[in-house]
């Protein structure tokens, strides 16, 4: 959700908007590809929840392959198409979902990692931002770009 991080990854995008998916929830249960003791974000089916995030309109179809490298797709995350709600209505978007082989519900994210999600504050409701801010964090680990 960190626009500065996306720019630093040399991602070409045309716009950024708030987006949400009803029936899914945010979890920190995907093992990091750089440190098995650190958790990364994931979405899971949760009928009574709603996940909020940031939707980037990419500058071209090849841009997603640049992001795949950073996300570890297709091995760590699969890239799925979801209908997401935006202020412009329903849009179809690629969403990264953790593959079952890398899920571990016993690990926690590093605080610096959570800060990347919190950087999207202007796109999140106050309540949702606060929930992310209160996520219990574990080992610090070494930050990566």
Q: For 80-137, how does the pLDDT look when each residue is reduced to its tens digit (9 = 90+)?
A: 999 999 999 999 999 999 999 999 999 999 999 999 999 999 999 999 999 999 999 9
Q: What's the rounded Cα separation, in Å, for the pair 78 and 73? A: 6
- Structural domain count, the chain: 1
- Which residues span the domain enclosing 118? 3-133
Residue 93: CATH number of its domain: 3.10.490.10
Residue 145 lies in a domain: no
Residue 142 lies in a domain: no
Residue 104 lies in a domain: yes
Q: What's the rounded Cα separation, in Å, for the pair 90 and 108? A: 32
What Å distances lie between residue 5 and 12, 47, 49, CA to CA?
12, 31, 27
* pLDDT tens-place string over residues 21-80: 999 999 999 999 888 899 999 999 999 999 999 999 999 988 999 999 988 899 999 999
């Amino acid at each position: 959700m960190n626009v500065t991080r996306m720019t630093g990854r040399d991602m070409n995008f045309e716009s950024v908007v708030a987006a949400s998916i009803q029936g899914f929830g945010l979890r920190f249960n995907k093992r990091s590809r750089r440190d098995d003791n650190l958790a990364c974000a994931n979405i899971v089916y949760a009928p009574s929840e709603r996940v909020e995030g940031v939707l980037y309109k990419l500058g071209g179809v090849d841009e997603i392959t640049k992001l795949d490298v950073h996300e570890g797709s297709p091995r760590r995350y699969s890239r799925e198409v979801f209908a997401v709600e935006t202020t412009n209505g329903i849009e179809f978007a690629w969403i990264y979902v953790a593959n079952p082989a890398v899920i571990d519900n016993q690990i926690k994210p590093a605080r610096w990692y959570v800060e990347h999600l919190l950087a999207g504050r202007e796109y999140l409701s106050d309540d949702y931002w606060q929930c992310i801010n209160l996520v219990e964090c574990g080992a610090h680990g070494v930050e990566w770009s």
